[in-house]
Amino acid sequence: MFWTRPIDDVLGRLARQVSAPLRLVLWDGREYKLSESPSVTLRLKDKRTAAVLARPSFLSLAEAYISGDADIEGDMRDAIRSAEALARVRFKALFAGGGRSRHSRSEDRDAIRRHYDVSDEFYALWLDPRMVYSCGYFRAASDSLEQAQLQKLDHICTKLRLAPGERFLDIGCGWGALAMRAAERYGVDATGITLSENQFRLADERIRAAGLQGRCRVLLEDYRDHSVATPYDKIASVGMFEHVGLHNLPVYFGSAARLLRERGLFLNHGITSSDTRNGRVGMGAGEFIDRYVFPKGELPHLHRAVHDMSEAGFEVHDVECLRPHYARTLEHWSRNFEDRLAQAVAVSDERTARIWRLYLAGCAYAFEQRWVSIYQVLGSKQAVSGQSDLPLTREWMYRA
C-alpha cells in the first residue's frame, strides 16, 4: 500500500501533461492510458521500476527496458515517440552540453571494438548483403535497402571522380563494401583502414573471395598512424568522424590532407549535430547512446566540420544533406531488426538485443525529427593557390 498513493499521483500528473500512444501496466495489473487508443504497452515489473516514471528520461526508460525490469509491446516507433513525450515532462531543452572525451589511440580502439565487434552475424541480420553500415541513397521511396546502399557507394565514387589506376583510401572502411566497389567497378587501387578486428577479418575474406586482392586491401590501423610513400589521389571517410571527437577534428582532417596529393579530392560523409553549439541530444538520449552503444561519440555541427576541414587546407566544393535518406535507411534497419529479433538474441544475448532494438528505432526517430543530421562534404586539397581540377558545374555528380 505504500506505493499506491505516490504512483497514483505520478500517473495522474502524467495523464494530465502527456499525450502519447501509451498504455502503462503495473506489476499489480493496474492499467493507465495516456491516449484513447494506445498502440504501445509498457509493462513495469515491480515497484522499484515504477519510480522511473517520477523523473523519466530516455536513459532511465531505456535502462528499465535493457535490464528486463520493463517490457515493450507494440510498435517501436510509437514507443520512442512515447518516451519523448514522457521525457519532455522533465526536460525543456532538446540539446544538452557535455564534457568532451579524450580520444587516445587505445581509447578509440576500445570504443570502436565495443561498437562494431558484437559479431558479424549480428550485423548481417539487419544490414544489406554488402553490410554497408551507413546512410543509403534513395532515388525513389520504393528503393530497397540493398539498392539504396549500392546507389550510395556509386554516388560517392562518382562524386570523387574515381578513374582507373588512381589510388583510393577509405578511412573507417567497415566491412569493405566501398573499397571493393571502387576497385571492381571504377578500376582504382583501393585501401581501407579500420580499428575493428571483426570488420578487418571479414573484409579481407570478402576481398579474396571476389578475387580483388591484387588491387584492394584492408588494414587494421588507426587513421593517425597510416602513412604512404605516394599520396592518394582520392580519399573517402564514411561514418567515421563521429568517432573522432570534437577536439581531434583538426588532427583528423589534417591526416586526410597529409595523405592526399595536391588537388586530390576528399569526401567526408558523417552525422552532425543539429545544435549550432555542437551539443548532443538531451533528455537522456545522448547519455544512453554514449553509455550503451556508441562510446565516446561526439557530433559537430556542420559549420564546425566545414571550418576544421577548411583549416586543414581543403577547399569545400559541395555540401549535400542526406538526413531524409538516413531516416529511411534506419527505418529499414529497425524493421529488419524487429523481424529477426529472436535471431538477434540468439547470436548475441537478450540485453544486447534490447539495446540495439531501442537504438535503431530511436535513431530513425531522431533523424526524422531533425535532432541530428548527416552531410556529405566534398573538398579538394588546395595547399597551392590556383584552380581546382573539378568541372565548373555539378552535372558530373549525377551522370548515368
Residues 6+ apart with CB under 8 A from 248: 103
CA dist 78 to 19, 27, 99, 241, Å? 12, 22, 31, 30
CA dist 301 to 236, 270, 306, 372, Å? 19, 11, 9, 9
CA dist 192 to 113, 200, 214, 218, 237, Å? 17, 9, 14, 5, 10
Active site residue 363: yes
C-beta separation of 127 from 133 below 8 A: yes
Cell 588494414, located at residue: 219
Query: In this structure, what C-alpha cell is assigned to residue 377?
Result: 562534404
Query: In this structure, what C-alpha cell is assigned to residue 227?
Result: 602513412
Q: Which of 135, 157, 173, 363 is catalytic?
A: 363
Question: In the beta sheet, which residues pair with residue 40?
Answer: 22, 74
Residues 6+ apart with CB under 8 A from 122: 344, 347, 348, 352, 356
Q: What is the largest CA-CA distance in the chain?
A: 79
DSSP annotation of 99 reads P
In terms of C-beta density within 10 A (0-12 exposed, 13-18 middle, 19 or more buried), how is residue 342 classed?
exposed
Q: Annotated catalytic sites, by residue?
A: 363
